[in-house]
C-alpha cells in the first residue's frame, strides 16, 4: 500500500533536491543535525542513516519500494531515528560510513544504509534492499538492539577504532627519499596495462567508469617516455567512449558510467564532476592528437553544460537525473517507429550508423544511439565521402535534437557545489587552451567570479550554494579543486587576481587542514563539526583524492612563487606513494601525474610584454604538460617576472629550469625547440 503524499516530514525545510525528494515520505526523516542526534540519545534508539543523491537510480527505486510505504514507515518510525543525507552535500559523513561498511566486509554503494548506536558509531550496513528484505532486516536489527545491545556496542567500538586508524600506518606510507626512475615508470605501466580492455578501451571491468585521471596520467607517461602503448590506450578509450551510449551524441555530455563492458548502456544520470574532468581530458588529448572527434566532443559537451547546467548567476548545477516521467533513460532513447517517421530519407544508413534495430537494441523495445565503427571506417564501408557522411550525421542530429527537446527533461539537481565547480572551471580553462574560443574563457571567468563572490567570505570557502545562500563550510576537496581551477584560469588569462585567490585558499588550508604529524591534509577543517572520525582522502577514484590534487597544486604554486616548502611537499608526498604506484597506478593515477612532473625538469615559461596573451595562446597549441606559465603585459611583483620588464613594443619569452634560465627569445618556435631539446 502506497502512502498519500499529504504527510510532510522535517526534510521539507531543506534545500538539497535529494532531501526534498523524501520530504513527503511517511518515514519521519530528519536531516543530520543536533535534533536527530539528541533524540537518539534521549530515547536510546539506534540511528538509521540513509545516504544517496538526487541522480541515483537505485536510490529512487528503494524510495518507491520502501520509504513511500506505510508499513515500512511504521517499523522505521517506531524503532529508529531516521536520518537522510545527501552524499554530495555531506561527503564527510558519506566517507566515514562508506568506510565503515567496507570495514564490515560488505560492498559499498548508493543508496547506503547504515545502522548506528545512539552515539553515531556504525554496527551494520548495506546498500539497496527490496521491501521484504528491508522489513526483515529492520526487524532483526531492532531485536538485536533490544536483546544483544552489549555485543552491538562492542562491535561498534571496534569499527570506530578501525575508522580512526591512521592512513599512513594502514597503507605503510613511509618516507621515500629516492627519486623515481624510468625503469620504475616502466614497471608501473606494465602493472596497469594488465587491467586494460584492449578491445573497448577503459579498464577491463564491468560496469565501466570513465576514470579520467588514469588517462591524464597515461598522457603524461607518453609525454615523458614516448611510450606508444600509453597513447594508444588513451585514444582507444576516448574513441570508444565518444562512440558509445555513455556519450549523448545528440545533446553532448557523458553519463556517469556504462552498465556493460562496451560503453553501450549507461545509467543515464549526468554529473558535473565527470563532465568537467572529461572536458579537460579530451582537451589535452585534442592538443596532442588534433583528432576532429575530440574537438566535436569538447564543443558539444561545452554547449550542453552551458545550456542545461549553467545558472544565470554563473555557477554550475550538480547533475541531471537518469529518469524522466519515472522511466530510466526515457529522454535519451528511441522507438524504431518514431525514428522511421523522423529520419525518412537515408534511414537504413542511419540505422547502420547508430546500431538501430526494429525490436530495439536495449530494454522495452527502445534504441540507444551507439556507433560500432568510427566515421572513417563507416564512410569507406558505405562508399561515402567524409563530407557527405558529416552532412548526413549533422542532419540526423538536428532532427533528433528538435524532436527530443520537447520531451519531459530529466530532473535537475540545482545545488551548486564549490568542489565540482572548481573541477568544471579547470575543464573550461583546458577547453579554452585547446580551442581558443573566447566564449569558453568568458564562461570560465563568470564561473570564477561566482565562486569568489557567492561561495567565499574572504576566509571560508563554502561547500554548497542554493536559493542564494552558501552553506556548509568547505571540505578539502572544495579548496583544492577551486585552487586548481584558479591556477588554470591564471595561466590562460594571466590575470594575477586568480593567482592571489589560489594563494589565499592554500594558506587557509595549511592553517586549518594540515596534520603536522603525518605531513598530509585532513578532509575536514579543525573548525568543522566533530564526527566519530577525521579522515584523510589519499586514493584517487572517479574524482582524484583531495590530497593528491593539493600536492599537485602546492608543487605548481611552489614553482610559480619560488616557494621551496611547497615544492618539497609535492616531492615528499608523491614519494610516499611509491610502493602503491609501482604495484597498481590505477589507485593513485593523479599522484602519477605529479610523479611524472617530478621525473623531468618542470619548464618555467615566463612571458613579459604587450603580446603576452597572444604568445601564451601560441605556446598552448603544443602539447607539453610539464610546464608552468607565468606572464604579464604590465610590470609585476611575481618572483618569476621580477626585473623582466621588456623594452617598449617587445614581448620576451624566458625558459627556466630549476632556477637556470635560457637567454630570452621573442620566438615561440625557438622556445618549442628548446623545450624539445631539454626533454
Antiparallel, parallel or unpaired: β 266-267 and 257-258: antiparallel
Looking at 455-531, list the stretches that DSSP marks H as alpha helix, in order from N- to C-terminal side: 476-493, 496-513
Instruction: Please tell me the predicted confidence (pLDDT) of residue 658.
Output: 80
Region of residue 120 (left: phi > 0; alpha: psi -120 to 50; beta: else): left
- Kindly state the average pLDDT of the residues 578-597: 95
pLDDT digits (tens, 9 = 90+) for 80-129: 999 999 999 999 999 999 999 988 888 888 999 999 999 999 999 999 99
pLDDT exceeds cutoff 80 at 548: yes
Of the candidate CATH numbers 2.40.70, 3.10.450, 3.30.1360, 3.40.30, the domain formed by 603-678 belongs to 3.40.30
Q: What is the mean pLDDT of the chain?
A: 94
Please give the backbone phi and psi of residue 327, each rounded to the nearest 5 degrees, phi first.
-120, 130
- What span, in angstroms and rounded, lies between the C-alpha atoms of 367 and 175? 53
The pLDDT value given to residue 107? 85
User: Would you say residue 4 has pLDDT above 60?
Assistant: no
CATH of 10-164, one of 3.40.50.300, 3.40.190.10, 1.20.120.530, 3.40.30.10: 3.40.30.10
Q: How far is CA 371 from CA 299, 350, 351, 377, in A?
A: 19, 11, 10, 11
Fold annotation for 182-326+413-598: Glycosyltransferase (1.50.10)
* Residue spans of beta strands (DSSP E) within 129-265: 257-258
- pLDDT bin (cut points 50, 70, 90) of residue 423 is very high
Provide the 3-class DSSP secondary structure of residue 328: strand
Q: Which candidate, 131, 108, 125, 106, places its Cα nearest to that of 48?
A: 125
Question: Rounded to whole angstroms, what are the CA distances from 314 to 445, 465, 472, 638?
Answer: 9, 12, 20, 29
Amino acid 679: pLDDT: 63
Mean pLDDT of 236-241: 98
Question: Considering the chain, what percentage of its residues have pLDDT values greater than 90?
Answer: 86
State the average pLDDT over residues 216-240: 97
Q: Whole-angstrom Cα distance, residue 158 to residue 171?
A: 19
SS (H, E, C) 268-319: CCEEHHHHHHHHHHHHHHHHHHCCHHHHHHHHHHHHHHHHHHECCCCCECCE
Please say whether the dihedral angle defined by the alpha carbons of residues 411, 107, 218 and 236, taken in this order, is positive or negative: negative
- Cell readout for 347 is 534511414
Give the mean pLDDT of 138-146: 95
Radius of gyration of the chain (CA): 26
pLDDT of residue 2: 40
Write down the domain spans for the chain. 10-164, 182-326+413-598, 332-406, 603-678
Fold agreement (10-164, 603-678): yes
Residue 174 pLDDT: 79
Count of residues for the chain? 679
Model pLDDT, residue 663: 83
Q: In sequence order, what are the residues at sequence separation of 6 or more whose Cβ sits closer than 8 angstroms to the Cβ of residue 162?
A: 103
Q: Which pLDDT band, with edges at 50, 70 and 90, does 12 fall under?
A: very high
pLDDT tens across 27-49, in order?
999 999 999 999 999 999 999 99
Lowest-pLDDT choice from 92-101, 171-180, 370-379, 393-402:
171-180
C-alpha cell at 606: 615566463
Taking only the tens place, the pLDDT of each residue in 56-67 is 888 999 999 999
Can you state the angle between helices 589-598 and 546-561, rounded to 10 degrees? 20
Q: If you average pLDDT over residues 611-630, what whole number do you get? A: 95
Q: Which residues are CB-contacts of 107 (< 8 A; sequence separation ≥ 6)? A: 101, 127
- What confidence score (pLDDT) does residue 299 get? 98
pLDDT tens by residue, 476-512:
999 999 999 999 999 999 999 999 999 999 999 999 9
Q: Which residue, among 487, 241, 231, 283, has the nearest Cα to 371 in the 3D structure?
A: 241
C-alpha cell recorded at residue 310: 549553467
14-18, 446-450, 636-640: least confidently modelled range: 636-640
Q: Is the pLDDT of residue 265 over 60?
A: yes
Q: What is the pLDDT of residues 344-389, one digit of tens each?
A: 989 999 999 999 999 999 999 999 999 999 999 999 999 999 999 9
C-alpha angle with apex 678: 213 to 665, nearest 5 degrees?
105
3-state secondary structure (DSSP) of residue 344: coil
Amino acid at each position: 500500500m502506497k502512502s498519500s503524499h499529504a504527510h510532510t516530514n522535517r526534510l521539507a525545510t531543506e534545500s538539497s533536491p535529494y532531501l526534498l525528494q523524501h520530504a513527503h515520505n511517511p518515514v519521519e526523516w530528519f536531516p543530520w543535525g543536533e535534533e536527530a542526534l539528541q533524540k537518539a540519545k534521549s530515547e536510546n534508539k539506534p540511528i538509521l542513516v540513509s545516504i544517496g543523491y538526487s541522480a541515483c537510480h537505485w536510490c529512487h527505486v528503494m524510495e518507491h519500494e520502501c520509504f513511500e510505504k506505510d508499513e515500512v514507515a511504521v517499523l522505521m518510525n517506531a524503532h529508529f531515528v531516521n536520518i537522510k543525507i545527501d552524499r554530495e552535500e555531506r561527503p564527510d559523513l558519506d566517507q566515514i560510513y562508506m568506510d565503515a561498511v567496507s570495514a564490515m566486509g560488505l560492498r559499498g554503494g548508493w543508496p547506503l544504509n547504515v545502522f548506528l548506536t545512539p552515539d553515531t558509531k556504525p554496527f551494520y550496513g548495506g546498500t539497496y534492499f527490496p521491501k521484504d528484505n528491508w522489513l526483515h532486516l529492520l526487524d532483526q536489527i531492532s531485536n538485536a538492539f533490544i536483546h544483544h545491545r552489549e555485543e552491538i556496542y562492542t562491535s561498534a567500538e571496534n569499527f570506530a577504532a578501525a575508522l580512526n586508524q591512521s592512513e599512513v600506518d594502514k597503507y605503510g606510507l613511509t618516507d621515500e627519499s629516492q627519486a623515481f626512475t624510468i625503469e620504475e615508470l616502466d614497471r608501473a605501466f606494465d602493472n596497469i596495462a594488465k587491467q586494460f580492455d584492449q578491445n573497448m578501451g577503459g579498464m577491463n571491468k564491468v560496469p565501466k567508469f570513465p576514470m579520467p585521471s588514469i588517462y591524464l596520467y597515461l598522457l603524461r607517461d607518453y609525454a615523458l617516455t614516448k611510450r606508444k602503448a600509453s597513447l594508444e590506450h588513451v585514444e582507444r578509450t576516448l574513441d570508444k567512449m565518444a562512440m558509445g551510449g555513455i556519450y549523448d551524441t545528440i545533446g553532448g555530455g557523458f553519463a556517469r558510467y556504462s552498465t556493460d563492458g562496451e560503453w553501450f548502456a549507461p545509467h543515464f544520470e549526468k554529473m558535473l564532476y565527470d563532465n568537467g574532468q572529461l572536458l579537460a581530458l579530451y582537451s589535452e588529448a585534442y592538443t596532442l592528437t588534433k583528432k576532429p572527434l575530440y574537438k566535436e566532443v569538447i564543443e558539444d559537451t561545452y554547449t550542453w553544460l552551458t545550456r542545461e547546467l549553467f545558472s544565470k548567476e554563473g555557477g554550475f548545477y550538480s547533475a541531471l537525473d537518469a529518469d524522466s516521467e519515472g522511466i530510466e533513460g526515457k529522454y535519451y532513447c528511441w522507438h524504431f517507429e518514431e525514428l522511421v517517421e523522423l529520419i525518412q530519407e537515408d534511414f537504413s544508413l542511419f540505422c547502420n550508423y547508430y546500431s538501430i534495430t526494429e525490436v530495439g537494441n536495449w530494454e522495452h523495445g527502445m534504441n540507444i544511439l551507439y556507433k560500432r565503427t568510427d566515421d572513417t571506417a563507416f564512410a569507406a564501408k558505405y562508399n561515402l565521402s567524409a563530407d557527405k557522411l558529416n552532412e548526413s550525421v549533422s542532419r540526423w542530429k538536428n532532427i533528433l535534437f528538435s524532436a527530443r527537446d520537447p520531451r519531459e527533461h530529466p530532473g535537475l539537481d540545482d545545488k551548486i557545489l564549490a568542489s565540482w565547480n572548481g573541477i568544471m572551471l579547470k575543464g573550461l580553462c583546458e577547453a579554452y587552451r585547446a580551442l581558443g574560443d573566447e566564449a569558453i574563457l568568458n564562461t570560465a571567468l563568470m564561473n570564477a567570479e561566482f565562486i569568489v563572490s557567492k561561495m567565499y567570505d574572504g576566509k571560508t570557502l563554502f561547500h554548497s550554494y542554493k536559493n542564494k545562500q552558501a552553506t556548509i563550510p568547505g571540505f578539502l576537496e572544495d579548496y583544492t579543486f577551486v585552487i586548481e581551477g584558479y591556477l588554470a584560469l591564471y595561466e590562460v588569462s594571466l590575470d594575477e587576481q586568480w593567482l592571489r585567490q589560489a594563494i589565499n585558499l592554500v594558506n587557509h588550508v595549511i592553517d586549518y587542514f594540515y596534520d603536522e604529524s603525518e605531513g598530509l591534509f585532513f578532509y575536514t577543517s579543525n573548525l568543522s563539526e566533530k564526527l566519530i572520525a577525521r579522515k584523510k582522502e589519499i586514493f584517487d577514484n572517479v574524482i582524484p583524492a583531495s590530497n593528491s590534487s593539493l600536492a599537485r597544486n602546492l608543487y605548481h604554486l611552489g614553482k610559480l612563487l619560488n616557494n621551496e616548502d611547497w615544492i618539497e611537499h609535492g616531492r615528499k608526498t608523491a614519494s610516499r606513494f611509491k610502493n602503491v604506484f609501482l604495484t597498481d597506478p590505477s589507485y593513485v593515477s593523479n599522484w602519477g601525474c605529479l610523479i611524472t612532473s617530478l621525473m623531468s625538469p618542470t619548464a618555467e615559461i615566463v612571458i613579459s610584454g604587450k603580446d603576452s596573451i597572444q604568445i601564451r595562446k601560441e605556446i598552448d597549441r603544443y602539447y607539453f604538460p610539464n610546464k608552468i606559465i607565468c606572464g604579464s603585459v604590465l610590470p609585476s611583483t611575481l618572483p618569476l617576472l621580477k626585473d623582466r620588464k621588456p623594452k617598449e613594443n617587445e614581448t620576451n619569452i624566458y625558459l627556466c629550469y630549476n632556477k637556470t634560465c635560457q637567454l630570452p627569445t621573442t620566438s615561440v618556435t625557438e622556445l618549442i625547440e628548446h623545450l624539445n631539446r631539454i626533454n
